[in-house]
Amino acid sequence: MEPAAIPYLPRGVRLHRDRVREAWVLLAPERAIMLDEIGHAVLTEIDGARSFSEITAALAAKYDAPQDEIAGDCAGLLGALRARRFLEVRE
Amino acid sequence: MNAETPIVRPPIAMLAELTHRCPLSCPYCSNPVELARVDSELSTETWKDVFRQAADLGVLQLHLSGGEPASRRDLEDLVCAARDAGLYTNLITSGIGLSEKRLRALDEAGLDHVQLSLQGTTPEMADEIGGYNGGFKRKMQVAEWIGAIGFPLTLNAVLHRRNLHQLPRALEMAVEMGARRIEVATVQFHGWALKNRGALMPTMEQAREADRIVTEARARLKGTLVIDYVPADYHSDYPKRCMGGWGSTGLNVAPDGKVLPCHAAESIPHLSFDNVADRPLADIWYRGAAFNAYRGTDWMQEPCRSCARKTVDFGGCRCQAMAVVGDPDATDPVCVKSPHHGALQAQAAAHSVSDAPLVHRAVPARRQTEPTG
């Protein structure tokens, strides 16, 4: 994902607190994706306003980790969601 | 119960068959051959209660289906209640019965996603298969409204021998409509479709051509259109993991409140089904006899019992074992390891060159037949 790209969740894709399984889930058309802590942390940063590099910088500061490493992890998750069209990007 | 009894997890998805009424009469309809009577349909309040129970049980995805769910006048109200319960709401529709006004009301109610069926890519094909003149034109209008409102859309193209040549156009139409996803679903032979094997069975060449088209389109349309593909069942070597495993991820509530492990489960004569009117949904899921009948692997016979794939496909489809082999405990005859696999393939080859006419599905009775005389 390009550093300047702005990721956002399109209509029909939303975060949901699953009170039965006590976990966060990404609900999408005919899919429910169970999120681990990292997945949830990444997706809550996506606000449709900030760029990929701003998001990874915020996560790097929050978790005291190198931004490159965070960007690598995020690109994997967000790329997989994008391939299913559960995530869109404004360039 | 013994040591091998699997841990039962909460279901993720529920298919609510709101009604068996439908303006179309597709010859492969997944409704049972014995359709639920109109006067047996659950009330609005009962459905709302079932949705709340489902959410409490752990269901995340609610598929509002039928028949045609738009045939229920309370659809908007039901969507609203499902959203209030915390469910993700998916409308599975032919589009017939939806006006722009109703779609806007569904938007207002919080409907998350629409799955629109496609019987063919031309009016001639679609209207013949659906048994409804003007249906295709109406559906195209509904697709435009869906796009204008902005609902996420999945196009569900049901394919068989008569329309498999239209697959490339179906893919184009999905892109033109702005669908994010298409389901390329080759007809599965249960219920009404079982009566139509001679009319609908694809040829082996068609099945392989569809594989090729899907593979090519997935690469070409990556990032634009997600393609989920259900290949021709009888022409495969291994069975489908039916329902993700019996009683493991999903449940189905029929129009009259009967709770089924899958939509075709009533074709298995020895099973008995609970009703939401008599028993809480959670109790039915965890302790209902029908749900426990084929959970896990304990029920299996050979060759499933000693097979390395037994937790991959769980022996395939119980309803298909019943329909083809006459034994719901048998290995799905689609499997190469089934002693009936050769016979099934021979049947498929014979059906695929048959000239049997289409048998359209029937219309549900309006009320219980009164005894005469």
Calculate mean pLDDT across residues B56-77: 98
The answer to whether the CB atoms of B226 and A85 lie below 8 A apart is yes
| Cα of B304 to nearest chain A Cα, Å | 29
Q: Which residues contact B136 (CB under 8 A, 6 or more apart)?
A: B119, B120, B122, B123, B126, B127, B130
Angstrom distance (rounded) from CA B55 to CA B16:
13
CB B280 within 8 A of CB B251: no
Residue B248 has pLDDT above 80, yes or no: yes
In A, minimum Cα distance to B53 occurs at: A20
Instruction: Tell me whether residues A85 and B113 touch, CB distance under 8 A.
Output: no
CATH number of the domain to which A17 belongs: 1.10.10.1150
Tens of pLDDT, residues A46-56: 999 999 999 99
| Cα B111 from chain centre | 20
Residue A1 lies in a domain: no
Task: Please give the average per-residue pLDDT across B333-344, as a whole number.
Answer: 96
- Residue A91 belongs to some domain of the structure: no
For chain B, the domains span 13-242
* CATH class for the region spanning B13-242: alpha beta
Amino acid of residue B360? H
SS3 assignment, position B310: helix
Task: Indicate if the pLDDT at residue B369 is higher than 70.
Answer: no
Over 80: is that where the pLDDT of B76 sits?
Answer: yes
Q: Are strands A31-35 and B153-159 parallel, antiparallel or unpaired?
A: unpaired
Tell me what the mean pLDDT of segment B316-332 comes to.
95
- Closest residue in A to B83 (Cα) is A16
- Yes or no, beta carbons of B60 and A27 under 8 Å apart: yes
How many C-beta neighbours within 10 Å does residue B105 have?
A: 16
Closest by Cβ to B152, choosing from A10, A16, A20 = A10
Say which residues have a Cβ less than 8 Å from residue B53's Cβ, sequence separation at least 6: B276, B280, B281, B282
Pairwise CA distance, residues B70 & B74, whole Å = 9
For this complex, say whether ipTM is above 0.85.
Answer: yes
Measured in whole angstroms, the distance separating CA B218 from the mean position of its chain's CA atoms is 23
The β-bridge partners of B354 are none
Contact B45, B52 (CB under 8 A): no
| B187 closest CA partner among B223, B161, B148 | B161
Q: Indicate whether B2 pLDDT > 70.
A: no
The verdict on a CB contact (< 8 Å) between B86 and A30 is: no
Whether the CB-CB separation of B154 and B183 falls below 8 Å is answered with: yes
List residues bridging with B65 in a β-sheet.
B17
Q: What is the pLDDT of residues B311-323, one digit of tens each?
A: 999 999 999 999 9
Q: What is the pLDDT of residue B243?
A: 87
Tokens for B93?
Answer: 């529709």
Give residue B227's pLDDT: 98
Nearest residue on chain A to B152, alpha-carbon basis: A12
Number of compact structural domains in chain A = 1
With the C-alpha atoms ordered B187, B193, B197, B198, is the resulting torsion angle positive or negative?
negative
Enter the pTM of the model.
0.95
Most B-contacting residue of A13, A20, A89 (CB-CB within 10 A), to test interface? A20
- Cβ contact B207:B254 at 8 Å: no
* Residue A69 forms part of a structural domain: yes
Which domain does A82 fall in, by range?
6-86
* Cα B53 to Cα A20, B14, B50, B56, B60, distances in angstroms: 12, 11, 5, 5, 12
What is d(CA B324, CA B345) in angstroms, rounded to the nearest whole number? 12
User: Which pairs from B203-208 meet CB under 8 Å and 24+ separation?
Assistant: B203/B161, B203/B352, B203/B353, B204/B235, B204/B348, B204/B349, B204/B352, B206/B161, B206/B164, B206/B165, B206/B232, B207/B231, B207/B232, B207/B235, B208/B235
